């Protein structure tokens, strides 16, 4: 029995044979060409073929992992359409008179070298995406069609030096029992895919893992970051018992998914789902997992799915479909949240040195009134099909809310004059993502009907840490008492005016965070649909009064690790869900 160590990036336990994945070999020579114009045309044709393949991968990803996670492949498409990259390839072909393969390789490697020189783990890992896209074009140019992933015919743990998102999506998801790679990091797109697929994953593993023979039985422990080869019977029995216990917990949670989340002392907490589109799979997942509404409808993915700005009619149909699916249950539509790490190729935004602190969210919409009114009109029309509510992201001050409300009233009057049915009184809320808004929650509360706290951005701005920078992951932590104190301030400010507070960031579905949020008085938690049943089950095992005492206690602590330790000690049953 041999144990290899790494970094567990996707929780879970898997027992299965190894499948050593080796990507198709890409080899070519630099060749001088006599007709560079023809070679440039050959490159352009290969790009178009690759774009078609990426679009199919994106469609598959939407079906298998959901719209949000599938957005990874929008980034790949953007890379392939990058004018600087393509202009560089064209110049290389024309000036050096070399074949397209050589030109693409040289230009893309220059990009990757620049990213890898930057002292930022997140940007370094983006070089993996560039090479993934580049290799896709090279395969088309070289006529490579063999795909080693096709050899995966039984559920296996994939072992490789590294895996690209395209590698993952080329495999049968039902035969992926887990991933183990030597390279890769916590913020890589493959890591994100592993979590979305719900399979255990280990990165940064010992280099010797690629010498493990295929078909060898191994245990992959995504909780502790270990892979055990040729486990003995005692170890196998222990891990199978753990697997069985986890499965039983999930089955019980799923069987009770439709029950309300009510604490032992009769305090109800609403549990909603975050979704990214109107796809049948997204809606079915939310409903079947017992979501009592949609706490976050990410409308930016509707825009990302389009090659041009979606018009009012298109958006209206999308929003109406979600509202109808949930009937009288709340569906909170977040208006366009573009900027920062999300860009629209057809919306030409000026370059910003620090886009996370720039024109994004509501700030962008208030500077693009025609774009904003198109969405608001569509939402108002869709409101008549259910309990649709509108929420504005990245709000800093009351005046922004008043401007947005005035536009809603203007749109409603326009629709009435045009004879188009619309919601006469739609509820309006805001995201609390900026410390300034959290600190002034008592002043913003009279302007809205509800708050929803985005803990990802609130943590980032409170702690002055880029949440995409894995080297600072220990600092960008929503368990930090400073962040928790802001959440407490928001709840107190809202409840003073009888307004509801939800949390729709990742913290809402974290087992150790749930009792803290409940104790702080949060009224509603919204999360990935798959986490809804477990969240409800945890709430049903809590006592509200005890949670309040626990919340007050953790606010006095110094570090996120202290917070986790205190919650774990106070509520040991939470380990069953971690």
Instruction: Please give the pLDDT value at position 147.
Output: 63
Burial 414-426 (b: 16+ CB within 10 A, else e): ebeeeeeebbeeb
Task: Flag residues of the chain having pLDDT under 70.
Answer: 62-71, 118-125, 146-150, 185-189, 277-279, 281, 339-345, 349-356, 466-474, 476
pLDDT in tens, 53-73: 887 777 777 666 665 566 677
Instruction: Please give the pLDDT value at position 112.
Output: 87
Q: According to the 3-state scheme, what is the secondary structure of 184-210?
A: CCCCCHHHHHHHHHCCCEEECCCHHHH
pLDDT in tens, 389-442: 999 999 999 999 999 999 999 999 999 999 999 998 899 999 999 999 999 999
Q: Are 386 and 328 within 8 A, CB to CB? A: yes
Place of tokens 């039983």: 248
Q: Determine whether 189 is an active site residue.
A: yes
What percentage of the chain has pLDDT greater than the value 90? Answer: 60
Q: Are 520 and 479 within 8 A, CB to CB? A: no
How far apart (Å, rounded) are the C-alpha atoms in residues 516 and 548? 8
How far apart (Å, rounded) are the C-alpha atoms in residues 378 and 380? 6
Q: Are 448 and 429 within 8 A, CB to CB? A: yes
**DSSP secondary structure string for all residues of 422-476:** --SS--EEEEE-SHHHHHTHHHHGGG-SEEEE-HHHHHHHHHT--TT-GGGTTTS
Instruction: Please give the pLDDT value at position 460.
Output: 86
Q: According to the 3-state scheme, what is the secondary structure of 19-72?
A: EECCCCCCCCCCCECCCHHHHHHHHHHHHHHHHHHHHHHHHHHHHHHCHHHHCH
Compute CA distances 42 → 54, 83, 94, 99, 465, whole Å: 18, 17, 13, 9, 44
Query: What is residue 1's three-state secondary structure?
Result: coil
Nearest residue to 133 via CA among 113, 91, 104: 104
Q: Are 570 and 576 within 8 A, CB to CB? A: no
Q: Are 536 and 290 within 8 A, CB to CB? A: yes
Catalytic residue among 74, 168, 180, 189: 189
Instruction: Please give the pLDDT value at position 521.
Output: 98
Cα angle 411, 490, 568; round to 5:
130
- E strand or H helix at 298, and its extent? strand 294-298
Alpha carbon distance, N-terminus to C-terminus of the chain: 26
pLDDT in tens, 298-347: 898 788 777 788 999 999 999 999 999 999 999 999 999 876 555 666 77
Q: Determine whether 180 is an active site residue.
A: no
Domains and CATH numbers, the chain: 2-23+148-236 (3.50.30.10), 36-142 (1.10.274.10), 258-577 (3.20.20.60)
- E strand or H helix at 278, and its extent? none
How far apart (Å, rounded) are the C-alpha atoms in residues 163 and 149? 11
* Cβ atoms within 10 Å of 348's Cβ, excluding its own: 7
How far apart (Å, rounded) are the C-alpha atoms in residues 96 and 427? 62
57 φψ region: left (φ > 0), alpha (ψ -120 to 50), beta (else): alpha
How far apart (Å, rounded) are the C-alpha atoms in residues 559 and 475? 9
Global pTM reads 0.74
Nearest residue to 338 via CA among 293, 379, 311, 375: 375
Q: Where are the alpha helices (DSSP H) in 178-330?
A: 189-197, 233-255, 280-288, 300-304, 312-326
Instruction: Please give the pLDDT value at position 536.
Output: 97
Q: Are 249 and 577 within 8 A, CB to CB? A: yes
């Amino acid at each position: 029995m041999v144990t290899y160590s790494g970094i567990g990036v996707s929780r879970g336990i898997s027992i299965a044979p190894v499948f050593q994945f080796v990507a198709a070999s890409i080899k070519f020579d630099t060749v001088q060409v006599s007709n560079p114009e023809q070679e440039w045309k050959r490159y352009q044709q290969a790009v178009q073929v690759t774009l078609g393949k990426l679009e199919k991968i994106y469609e598959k990803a939407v079906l298998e992992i959901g719209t949000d996670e599938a957005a990874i492949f929008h980034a790949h498409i953007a890379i392939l359409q990058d004018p600087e990259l393509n202009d560089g390839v064209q110049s290389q072909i024309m000036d050096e008179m070399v074949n397209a393969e050589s030109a693409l390789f040289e230009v893309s490697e220059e990009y990757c070298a620049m990213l890898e020189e930057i002292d930022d783990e997140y940007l370094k890992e983006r070089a993996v995406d560039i090479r993934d896209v580049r290799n896709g074009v090279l395969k088309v140019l070289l006529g490579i069609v063999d795909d080693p992933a096709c050899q995966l015919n039984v559920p296996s743990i994939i072992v490789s030096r590294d895996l690209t998102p395209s590698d993952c999506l080329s495999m049968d998801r039902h035969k992926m029992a887990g991933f183990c790679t030597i390279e890769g990091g916590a913020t890589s797109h493959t890591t994100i895919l592993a979590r979305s697929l719900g399979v255990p994953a280990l990165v940064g593993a010992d280099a010797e893992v690629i010498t493990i023979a295929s078909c060898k039985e191994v245990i992959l422990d995504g909780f502790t970051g270990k892979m055990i080869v040729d486990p003995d019977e005692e170890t196998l029995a222990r891990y199978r018992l753990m697997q069985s216990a986890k499965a039983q917990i999930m089955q019980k949670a799923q069987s009770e998914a439709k029950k309300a989340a009510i604490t032992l002392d009769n305090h109800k907490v609403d549990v909603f789902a975050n979704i990214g589109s109107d796809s049948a799979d997204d809606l079915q997942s939310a409903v079947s997992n017992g979501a009592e509404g949609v706490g976050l409808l990410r409308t930016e993915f509707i825009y990302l799915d389009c090659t041009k700005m979606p018009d009012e009619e298109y958006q209206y149909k999308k929003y109406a479909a979600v509202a109808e699916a949930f009937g009288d249950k709340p569906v909170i539509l977040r208006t366009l949240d573009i900027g920062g790490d999300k860009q629209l190729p057809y919306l030409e935004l000026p370059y910003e040195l620090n886009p996370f602190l720039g024109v994004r969210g509501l700030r962008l919409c208030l500077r693009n009134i025609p774009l904003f009114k198109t969405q608001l009109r569509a939402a108002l029309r869709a409101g008549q099909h259910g309990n649709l509510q509108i929420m504005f992201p990245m709000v800093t001050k009351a005046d922004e809310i008043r401007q947005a409300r005035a536009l809603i009233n203007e749109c409603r009057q326009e629709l009435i004059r045009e004879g188009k049915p619309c919601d006469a009184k739609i509820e309006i809320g805001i995201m609390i993502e900026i410390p300034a808004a959290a600190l002034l929650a008592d002043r913003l509360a009279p302007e809205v009907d509800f708050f929803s706290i985005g803990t990802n951005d609130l943590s980032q701005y409170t702690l002055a840490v880029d949440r995409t920078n894995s080297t600072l992951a220990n600092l960008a932590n929503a368990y930090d008492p400073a962040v928790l104190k802001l959440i407490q301030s928001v709840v107190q400010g809202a409840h003073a005016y009888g307004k509801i507070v939800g949390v729709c960031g990742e913290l809402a579905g974290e087992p150790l965070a749930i009792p803290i949020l409940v104790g702080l008085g949060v009224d509603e938690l919204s999360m990935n649909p798959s986490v809804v049943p477990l969240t409800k089950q945890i709430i049903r095992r809590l006592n509200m009064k005890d949670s309040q005492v626990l919340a007050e206690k953790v606010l006095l602590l110094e570090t996120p690790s202290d917070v986790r330790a205190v919650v774990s000690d106070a509520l040991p049953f939470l380990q069953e869900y971690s």
